[in-house]
Amino acid sequence: MLHSLIRDFLKLRLCTTLQVREKGHLSRPHLRNPSWFLRKERKMRDNLVTAENKSFVQEIVHDVYGQSSVIKGVQSPNQICQTQLVKTGDSEVQLWTPNTRRTGVIARKIGQYPLWLKNGEKIRTTLLQVVENHAIKYTPPEEYKPAHRPKVAELNKYGCLLVGAESCDPSILTKEYCNLFKNSGVTPKRHLVRFLISPSAAITPGTPLNANHFRVGDYVDVRGKTVDHGFQGVVKRHGFKGMPASHGVTKTHRRPGNIGGGGEKGRVWPGTKLPGHMGNRWRKAKGLRIWRINNKYNVLWVQGSAIPGSTNGLVYIYDSILPLRRHKTAPPFPTVLNDPEECEDVWFEEVHNFKSETITFKPEEQN
């Protein structure tokens, strides 16, 4: 009897123990959604909705958000209560300093196109279209507490600006997701991105952002997600040459070969080039010059053809952080405040403009 009581007493857990995880947690992806991330689309479908009810829903959406109009080249809604939407021009504009960090924009990669300099040199460029960008919400530095701390020095000096792109139908979105755009006065957006900015570069919610946020000749950094190729071998993933097709080679044509795991090591060294998942990773292209800007369609001609991402994929554009390619003069700060009264296309001074007249004909004067 005494032994059974002692055995039961030892089985009791009088103190809490730490949870021991297996090694699998190192390779599994972890996702902790930020505070503003909500379920976007509702599960209900419109298969059973009649045509009359669909027209009624569209009337309600039109009454809430109003008819859209073009402001700074961006489709923006006209709210019934315009007093709720504060214009950027009404706020106090602060001066730009070299250490100031502006907001970025969301663009769509639409293709590649060559340009020629005036000296005859051919350059490759990528076309990035800024798609209906609006400022949604600004969080000051004292209130910004991200779930995943970014690798930014002195993070407590920067605030967070939420930018949305590509307006969509509010009737297919959840009520919680639509409430994110309640104070901004714009139609709910399909894509949301956060940018770390200086408090002096804060933008009023509802302000449109277009291609004139940058200037020709400026250097920008582009961030995008690379093309997802799935699981690939070492020949495609790392560019291995492989073995010959004949002359005694058997079933090792595209294999990696020996990785040198013998001797005292007896293990696979970290960083060894082996088969695995290729692509679908965030990458940055830094220090890219803007050669041309189209104000009508909000398109940027950016240097290079190796910008990460597939065609029609989204990328994020912001001022370059490279020390030698930062702004020397003040850019539009915090952004373009009014509609620019410029020509449709703006070319860099070193680029040859094919639209300009190169050969002129003058009739001979008759004596």
Per-residue pLDDT of the chain (367 residues; tens, 9 = 90+): 666 766 665 555 444 434 433 444 444 444 566 565 677 777 666 667 788 877 887 787 777 777 666 665 566 665 533 434 444 444 566 888 999 999 999 999 999 999 999 998 999 999 999 999 999 999 999 999 887 788 888 888 999 999 999 988 888 888 888 888 888 888 899 999 999 999 999 999 999 999 999 999 999 999 999 999 999 999 999 999 999 999 999 999 999 998 887 777 788 888 899 999 888 888 999 999 999 999 989 999 999 999 999 999 999 999 999 999 999 999 999 998 776 656 789 999 999 988 887 767 778 877 6
Instruction: Write down the pLDDT at residue 117.
Output: 93
d(CA 147, CA 168): 27
Q: What is the pairing mode between strands 230-232 and 189-197?
A: unpaired
Length of the chain counted residue by residue: 367
Three-state SS string over the chain comes to CHHHHHHHHHHCCCCCCCCCCCHHHHCCCCCCCCCCCCCCECCCCCCCCCHHHHHHHHHHHHHHHCCEEEECCEEEECCCCHHHCCCHHHCCCCCCCCCCCCCCEEEEEEEEEEEEECCCCEEEEEEEEECCEEEEEEECCCCCCCCCCCCCCCHHHCEEEEEEEEECCHHHECHHHHHHHCCCCCCCEEEEEEEEECHHHCCCCCCEECHHHCCCCCEEEEEEECCCCEEECHHHHHCCCCCCCCCCCCCCCCCCCCCCCCCCCCCCCCCCCCCEEECCCEEEEEEEEEEEEECCCCEEEEECCCCCCCCCCEEEEEECCCHHHCCCCCCCCCCCCCCCCCCCEEECCCECCCCCCCCCCCCCCCC
Listing from the earlier edge strand, what are the strands of the sheet with 159-167? Answer: 189-197, 159-167, 133-139, 208-209
Residues 6+ apart with CB under 8 A from 27: none
Q: In Å, how far are 12, 209, 300, 310, 354 from 111, measured between CA atoms?
A: 67, 21, 11, 9, 20
Q: For 100-146+156-228+277-347, CATH number? A: 2.40.30.10
Instruction: Write down the pLDDT at residue 234.
Output: 95
Instruction: Write down the pLDDT at residue 72.
Output: 58
Instruction: Write down the pLDDT at residue 174.
Output: 86
CA atoms within 13 A on the CB side of 170: 23
pTM of the model: 0.80
d(CA 316, CA 301): 14
Query: Could you state, in order of their start, the residue ranges of all structural domains in the chain?
Result: 100-146+156-228+277-347
CA atoms within 13 A on the CB side of 60: 9
Q: Which two tokens stand for residue 49?
A: 């909705």
